[in-house]
A = this chain, B = another copy of it.
Protein backbone atom coordinates (compact mmCIF):
# COMPACT_ATOMS: atom_id res chain seq x y z
CA UNK A 1 0.00 0.00 0.00
CA UNK A 2 1.30 3.39 -0.89
CA UNK A 3 -0.74 6.47 -0.19
CA UNK A 4 -0.38 10.20 -0.60
CA UNK A 5 2.67 11.43 1.23
CA UNK A 6 3.96 7.98 2.04
CA UNK A 7 7.08 6.77 0.29
CA UNK A 8 8.63 3.50 1.27
CA UNK A 9 11.46 2.01 -0.73
CA UNK A 10 12.49 -1.65 -0.59
CA UNK A 11 10.87 -4.45 1.45
CA UNK A 12 9.30 -3.75 4.81
CA UNK A 13 6.98 -5.08 7.49
CA UNK A 14 4.13 -3.09 9.00
CA UNK A 15 4.29 -2.79 12.78
CA UNK A 16 1.68 -1.25 15.03
CA UNK A 17 3.05 2.04 16.38
CA UNK A 18 1.61 1.61 19.87
CA UNK A 19 3.00 -1.91 20.27
CA UNK A 20 6.33 -0.69 18.95
CA UNK A 21 6.41 2.20 21.41
CA UNK A 22 5.75 -0.16 24.33
CA UNK A 23 8.43 -2.53 23.12
CA UNK A 24 11.10 0.19 22.80
CA UNK A 25 10.13 1.60 26.19
CA UNK A 26 10.28 -1.84 27.84
CA UNK A 27 13.74 -2.52 26.38
CA UNK A 28 15.03 0.78 27.74
CA UNK A 29 13.49 0.11 31.17
CA UNK A 30 15.26 -3.26 31.28
CA UNK A 31 18.51 -1.36 30.68
CA UNK A 32 17.87 0.84 33.70
CA UNK A 33 16.12 3.84 32.15
CA UNK A 34 13.34 5.17 34.44
CA UNK A 35 9.89 4.38 32.94
CA UNK A 36 8.95 8.02 32.26
CA UNK A 37 12.23 8.68 30.47
CA UNK A 38 11.98 5.42 28.52
CA UNK A 39 8.49 6.40 27.39
CA UNK A 40 9.65 9.83 26.11
CA UNK A 41 12.51 8.23 24.21
CA UNK A 42 10.30 5.52 22.70
CA UNK A 43 7.70 8.09 21.63
CA UNK A 44 10.39 10.18 19.97
CA UNK A 45 11.80 7.24 17.99
CA UNK A 46 8.41 5.91 16.90
CA UNK A 47 7.27 9.44 16.00
CA UNK A 48 10.11 9.52 13.45
CA UNK A 49 8.86 6.25 11.94
CA UNK A 50 5.30 7.57 11.90
CA UNK A 51 6.37 10.78 10.15
CA UNK A 52 8.37 8.98 7.49
CA UNK A 53 11.84 9.76 8.86
CA UNK A 54 12.83 6.10 9.24
CA UNK A 55 16.49 7.01 9.50
CA UNK A 56 15.82 8.60 12.90
CA UNK A 57 13.35 6.01 14.12
CA UNK A 58 13.63 2.68 15.91
CA UNK A 59 16.32 1.66 13.39
CA UNK A 60 18.64 3.67 15.66
CA UNK A 61 17.63 1.96 18.88
CA UNK A 62 20.79 -0.16 18.99
CA UNK A 63 22.95 2.96 19.00
CA UNK A 64 21.16 4.10 22.14
CA UNK A 65 21.28 0.71 23.86
CA UNK A 66 24.96 0.33 22.93
CA UNK A 67 25.62 3.75 24.43
CA UNK A 68 23.91 2.66 27.65
CA UNK A 69 25.78 -0.67 27.73
CA UNK A 70 29.09 1.10 27.02
CA UNK A 71 28.44 3.43 29.94
CA UNK A 72 28.63 6.61 27.83
CA UNK A 73 24.89 7.28 28.05
CA UNK A 74 23.79 7.94 31.61
CA UNK A 75 20.40 6.39 32.41
CA UNK A 76 20.03 8.43 35.61
CA UNK A 77 21.35 11.85 34.62
CA UNK A 78 21.35 14.74 37.08
CA UNK A 79 20.26 17.40 34.60
CA UNK A 80 21.44 20.76 35.99
CA UNK A 81 20.49 24.35 35.27
CA UNK A 82 23.88 26.03 34.87
CA UNK A 83 22.63 29.57 34.17
CA UNK A 84 19.16 31.00 34.13
CA UNK A 85 17.19 34.19 33.55
CA UNK A 86 13.43 34.69 33.15
CA UNK A 87 13.79 34.05 29.40
CA UNK A 88 16.95 31.94 29.05
CA UNK A 89 18.64 28.90 30.53
CA UNK A 90 21.67 26.73 29.99
CA UNK A 91 21.25 23.05 30.93
CA UNK A 92 23.91 20.42 31.46
CA UNK A 93 22.46 17.07 30.38
CA UNK A 94 24.93 14.93 32.37
CA UNK A 95 25.23 12.56 29.36
CA UNK A 96 21.59 11.53 29.60
CA UNK A 97 19.58 10.23 26.67
CA UNK A 98 19.22 13.11 24.21
CA UNK A 99 15.45 12.72 24.17
CA UNK A 100 15.18 12.95 27.96
CA UNK A 101 17.44 15.98 28.24
CA UNK A 102 15.78 17.70 25.28
CA UNK A 103 12.27 17.08 26.54
CA UNK A 104 13.28 18.77 29.79
CA UNK A 105 14.91 21.66 27.91
CA UNK A 106 11.97 22.33 25.61
CA UNK A 107 9.56 22.08 28.55
CA UNK A 108 11.58 24.79 30.28
CA UNK A 109 11.60 26.97 27.14
CA UNK A 110 7.81 26.58 26.90
CA UNK A 111 7.34 27.51 30.56
CA UNK A 112 9.41 30.67 30.09
CA UNK A 113 7.60 31.61 26.89
CA UNK A 114 4.23 31.22 28.60
CA UNK A 115 5.29 33.47 31.47
CA UNK A 116 7.59 35.95 29.72
CA UNK A 117 6.87 35.60 25.96
CA UNK A 118 10.27 34.08 25.09
CA UNK A 119 12.23 31.03 26.25
CA UNK A 120 15.68 30.20 24.87
CA UNK A 121 17.38 27.14 26.34
CA UNK A 122 20.83 25.86 25.40
CA UNK A 123 21.97 22.33 26.26
CA UNK A 124 25.37 20.71 26.63
CA UNK A 125 26.49 17.20 27.55
CA UNK A 126 23.64 15.56 25.72
CA UNK A 127 23.29 12.82 23.10
CA UNK A 128 21.55 12.33 19.76
CA UNK A 129 18.01 13.58 20.33
CA UNK A 130 16.13 11.90 17.47
CA UNK A 131 14.03 14.11 15.21
CA UNK A 132 14.10 17.85 15.85
CA UNK A 133 10.43 18.07 14.91
CA UNK A 134 9.45 16.17 18.06
CA UNK A 135 10.39 19.18 20.20
CA UNK A 136 8.95 21.67 17.73
CA UNK A 137 5.64 19.81 18.07
CA UNK A 138 5.83 20.20 21.87
CA UNK A 139 5.79 24.00 21.41
CA UNK A 140 3.05 23.74 18.81
CA UNK A 141 0.76 21.85 21.20
CA UNK A 142 1.02 24.89 23.50
CA UNK A 143 0.24 27.27 20.61
CA UNK A 144 3.79 28.62 20.69
CA UNK A 145 6.32 29.00 17.90
CA UNK A 146 9.02 26.37 18.42
CA UNK A 147 12.64 26.58 17.35
CA UNK A 148 15.01 23.61 17.56
CA UNK A 149 18.64 23.12 16.57
CA UNK A 150 21.22 20.45 17.30
CA UNK A 151 24.71 19.74 16.16
CA UNK A 152 25.63 16.24 15.01
CA UNK A 153 28.80 14.30 14.35
CA UNK A 154 30.65 15.81 11.35
CA UNK A 155 29.29 14.57 8.01
CA UNK A 156 29.37 17.60 5.70
CA UNK A 157 32.30 19.05 3.73
CA UNK A 158 31.86 22.83 3.93
CA UNK A 159 32.44 25.07 0.93
CA UNK A 160 35.89 24.52 -0.66
CA UNK A 161 36.77 21.87 1.96
CA UNK A 162 37.05 18.18 1.26
CA UNK A 163 37.14 17.38 4.95
CA UNK A 164 33.91 16.91 6.86
CA UNK A 165 33.91 19.29 9.81
CA UNK A 166 30.24 20.31 9.93
CA UNK A 167 27.31 18.17 11.02
CA UNK A 168 24.06 17.76 9.13
CA UNK A 169 22.94 20.17 11.88
CA UNK A 170 19.16 20.30 11.53
CA UNK A 171 16.82 23.22 12.17
CA UNK A 172 13.15 22.91 13.06
CA UNK A 173 10.73 25.83 13.10
CA UNK A 174 7.17 24.96 14.12
CA UNK A 175 4.41 27.56 13.78
CA UNK A 176 0.80 27.30 14.98
CA UNK A 177 -2.08 27.45 12.49
CA UNK A 178 -5.77 26.59 12.81
CA UNK A 179 -4.83 23.18 11.44
CA UNK A 180 -1.92 20.98 12.34
CA UNK A 181 0.74 23.65 12.01
CA UNK A 182 3.65 24.58 9.79
CA UNK A 183 6.58 22.33 10.75
CA UNK A 184 9.86 22.87 8.93
CA UNK A 185 12.30 20.16 10.02
CA UNK A 186 15.38 20.06 7.82
CA UNK A 187 19.02 19.08 7.82
CA UNK A 188 21.21 21.94 6.59
CA UNK A 189 22.86 19.50 4.18
CA UNK A 190 21.38 18.76 0.73
CA UNK A 191 20.27 15.37 2.04
CA UNK A 192 20.31 13.93 5.55
CA UNK A 193 22.65 11.02 6.35
CA UNK A 194 19.62 8.78 6.89
CA UNK A 195 18.57 8.94 3.23
CA UNK A 196 22.10 7.97 2.24
CA UNK A 197 21.96 5.01 4.63
CA UNK A 198 18.63 3.92 3.13
CA UNK A 199 20.10 4.10 -0.40
CA UNK A 200 23.08 2.01 0.69
CA UNK A 201 20.82 -0.56 2.33
CA UNK A 202 18.70 -1.07 -0.79
CA UNK A 203 21.60 -0.73 -3.24
CA UNK A 204 20.38 2.42 -4.98
CA UNK A 205 22.32 5.33 -6.50
CA UNK A 206 21.62 8.83 -5.18
CA UNK A 207 21.30 12.09 -7.14
CA UNK A 208 24.49 13.83 -8.22
CA UNK A 209 24.83 16.77 -5.85
CA UNK A 210 24.22 15.00 -2.55
CA UNK A 211 27.86 14.34 -1.82
CA UNK A 212 31.48 13.90 -2.81
CA UNK A 213 33.99 11.06 -2.60
CA UNK A 214 37.22 11.25 -0.61
CA UNK A 215 38.95 13.00 -3.55
CA UNK A 216 36.32 15.72 -3.59
CA UNK A 217 34.53 14.57 -6.77
CA UNK A 218 30.75 14.52 -7.09
CA UNK A 219 29.40 10.97 -7.15
CA UNK A 220 26.07 9.13 -7.16
CA UNK A 221 27.49 6.19 -5.21
CA UNK A 222 26.21 6.26 -1.62
CA UNK A 223 29.15 4.12 -0.43
CA UNK A 224 31.66 6.60 -1.79
CA UNK A 225 29.74 9.50 -0.23
CA UNK A 226 29.71 7.68 3.11
CA UNK A 227 33.49 7.50 2.99
CA UNK A 228 33.65 11.02 1.55
CA UNK A 229 31.19 13.71 2.61
CA UNK A 230 27.69 15.02 2.27
CA UNK A 231 27.37 18.54 0.86
CA UNK A 232 25.72 21.60 2.42
CA UNK A 233 22.33 22.75 1.09
CA UNK A 234 23.14 24.56 -2.18
CA UNK A 235 25.72 21.93 -3.13
CA UNK A 236 29.35 22.00 -4.19
CA UNK A 237 31.12 25.36 -4.38
CA UNK A 238 29.31 28.70 -4.38
CA UNK A 239 27.56 28.72 -7.76
CA UNK A 240 24.22 27.43 -6.49
CA UNK A 241 24.55 28.76 -2.96
CA UNK A 242 26.51 26.00 -1.18
CA UNK A 243 28.08 28.67 1.00
CA UNK A 244 24.60 29.45 2.33
CA UNK A 245 23.95 25.88 3.46
CA UNK A 246 27.44 25.88 4.98
CA UNK A 247 26.65 29.15 6.76
CA UNK A 248 23.39 27.78 8.15
CA UNK A 249 25.13 24.60 9.33
CA UNK A 250 27.73 26.74 11.08
CA UNK A 251 25.01 28.85 12.73
CA UNK A 252 23.46 25.67 14.15
CA UNK A 253 26.84 24.58 15.51
CA UNK A 254 27.39 28.05 17.01
CA UNK A 255 24.07 28.05 18.88
CA UNK A 256 24.13 24.34 19.82
CA UNK A 257 27.80 23.73 20.44
CA UNK A 258 29.87 26.90 20.79
CA UNK A 259 27.38 28.91 22.88
CA UNK A 260 26.44 26.05 25.21
CA UNK A 261 29.89 24.73 26.05
CA UNK A 262 29.18 21.42 24.29
CA UNK A 263 31.42 19.93 21.65
CA UNK A 264 31.32 21.38 18.14
CA UNK A 265 32.54 20.45 14.65
CA UNK A 266 34.63 17.26 14.70
CA UNK A 267 34.49 17.18 18.50
CA UNK A 268 30.88 15.94 18.54
CA UNK A 269 30.80 12.23 19.34
CA UNK A 270 28.43 9.36 18.77
CA UNK A 271 25.75 8.15 21.16
CA UNK A 272 27.03 4.55 21.11
CA UNK A 273 30.48 5.70 22.27
CA UNK A 274 33.33 5.06 22.78
CA UNK A 275 33.42 8.44 24.62
CA UNK A 276 30.48 10.60 25.77
CA UNK A 277 29.10 12.35 22.68
CA UNK A 278 28.64 15.76 24.37
CA UNK A 279 26.12 16.83 21.73
CA UNK A 280 24.73 20.36 22.05
CA UNK A 281 21.19 21.54 21.34
CA UNK A 282 19.34 24.84 21.31
CA UNK A 283 15.60 25.24 21.93
CA UNK A 284 13.37 28.27 21.61
CA UNK A 285 9.73 28.97 22.28
CA UNK A 286 8.10 32.25 21.31
CA UNK A 287 4.68 33.37 22.44
CA UNK A 288 2.80 34.79 19.46
CA UNK A 289 0.85 37.06 21.81
CA UNK A 290 3.94 39.21 22.25
CA UNK A 291 3.22 40.48 18.75
CA UNK A 292 -0.36 39.62 17.81
CA UNK A 293 -3.48 37.97 19.25
CA UNK A 294 -3.29 34.23 18.64
CA UNK A 295 -6.58 33.85 16.73
CA UNK A 296 -5.57 36.61 14.30
CA UNK A 297 -2.15 35.07 13.86
CA UNK A 298 -3.59 31.64 13.14
CA UNK A 299 -6.01 33.09 10.66
CA UNK A 300 -3.15 34.87 8.88
CA UNK A 301 -1.11 31.63 8.85
CA UNK A 302 -4.08 29.81 7.32
CA UNK A 303 -4.26 32.46 4.60
CA UNK A 304 -0.52 32.15 3.88
CA UNK A 305 -0.80 28.38 3.57
CA UNK A 306 -3.87 28.64 1.32
CA UNK A 307 -2.03 31.13 -0.88
CA UNK A 308 1.08 28.96 -1.19
CA UNK A 309 -0.89 25.79 -1.83
CA UNK A 310 -3.11 27.53 -4.35
CA UNK A 311 -0.28 28.69 -6.62
CA UNK A 312 -0.19 27.80 -10.31
CA UNK A 313 1.45 24.38 -10.59
CA UNK A 314 4.74 23.76 -12.32
CA UNK A 315 4.10 21.53 -15.38
CA UNK A 316 4.10 17.90 -14.23
CA UNK A 317 3.61 18.74 -10.55
CA UNK A 318 0.56 17.40 -8.75
CA UNK A 319 0.40 19.40 -5.58
CA UNK A 320 2.20 22.10 -3.63
CA UNK A 321 3.00 21.28 -0.03
CA UNK A 322 3.86 23.37 2.97
CA UNK A 323 6.45 22.35 5.55
CA UNK A 324 5.34 19.36 7.60
CA UNK A 325 2.35 18.51 5.46
CA UNK A 326 3.79 15.35 3.89
CA UNK A 327 4.79 14.07 7.32
CA UNK A 328 1.23 14.51 8.54
CA UNK A 329 -0.10 12.50 5.58
CA UNK A 330 2.42 9.77 6.28
CA UNK A 331 1.51 9.77 9.97
CA UNK A 332 -2.18 9.40 9.12
CA UNK A 333 -1.46 6.35 6.98
CA UNK A 334 0.90 4.75 9.46
CA UNK A 335 -1.24 5.25 12.54
CA UNK A 336 -3.72 2.94 10.86
CA UNK A 337 -1.56 0.67 8.70
CA UNK A 338 1.47 0.55 10.98
CA UNK A 339 4.97 1.96 10.57
CA UNK A 340 7.22 0.38 7.93
CA UNK A 341 10.32 -1.43 9.18
CA UNK A 342 12.89 -3.07 6.93
CA UNK A 343 14.19 -6.61 7.52
CA UNK A 344 17.46 -5.47 9.08
CA UNK A 345 15.67 -3.27 11.61
CA UNK A 346 13.18 -6.07 12.41
CA UNK A 347 16.06 -8.47 13.06
CA UNK A 348 17.90 -5.95 15.23
CA UNK A 349 14.80 -5.28 17.33
CA UNK A 350 14.18 -9.01 17.86
CA UNK A 351 17.78 -9.48 18.96
CA UNK A 352 17.68 -6.48 21.30
CA UNK A 353 14.44 -7.76 22.80
CA UNK A 354 15.85 -11.28 23.23
CA UNK A 355 18.97 -9.88 24.92
CA UNK A 356 16.97 -8.25 27.70
CA UNK A 357 13.97 -10.58 27.81
CA UNK A 358 11.33 -8.43 26.10
CA UNK A 359 9.49 -10.30 23.33
CA UNK A 360 9.14 -8.36 20.08
CA UNK A 361 5.62 -8.66 18.69
CA UNK A 362 5.59 -7.54 15.10
CA UNK A 363 3.07 -7.27 12.37
CA UNK A 364 -0.33 -5.74 11.91
Contact = CB atoms under 8 A, between A and B. Distances in A.
Given A248-B184, A258-B297, A116 B87 contact: yes
Given A184-B251, A240-B235, A244-B233, A264 B311 contact: no
B88 A290 contact: yes
Nearest to A208: B240
Contacts of A317: 160-161
Contacts of A243: 321, 323
- What bracket does the count of chain A residues touching chain B fall in? 35 or more
A239 to B, nearest CB: 5
A304 B158 CA distance: 13
A240 B234 CA distance: 8
A259 B234 CA distance: 28
A247 interface: yes
A205 B213 CA distance: 30
B233 A184 contact: no
A45 interface: no
A254 B162 contact: no
Interface in A142-201: 157-163, 165-166, 173, 175, 182, 184, 186, 188, 190-191
Nearest to A246: B323
Copies per assembly: 2
Nearest to A326: B243
Contacts of A188: 244
Contacts of A264: 300, 304
A189 B314 CA distance: 17
A3 B249 CA distance: 28
B300 A258 contact: yes
Given A90-B291, A301-B258, A311-B158, A184 B240 contact: no
B245 A118 contact: no
A262 to B, nearest CB: 10
A76 interface: no
B304 A258 contact: yes
A297 B258 CA distance: 7
A304 to B, nearest CB: 6
26 contacts: A83-B291, A83-B292, A85-B116, A85-B290, A87-B116, A88-B118, A88-B291, A118-B118, A120-B286, A158-B308, A160-B320, A161-B320, A162-B314, A165-B307, A173-B251, A184-B247, A191-B241, A209-B240, A216-B314, A216-B315, A233-B241, A233-B245, A253-B304, A254-B304, A258-B301, A261-B292
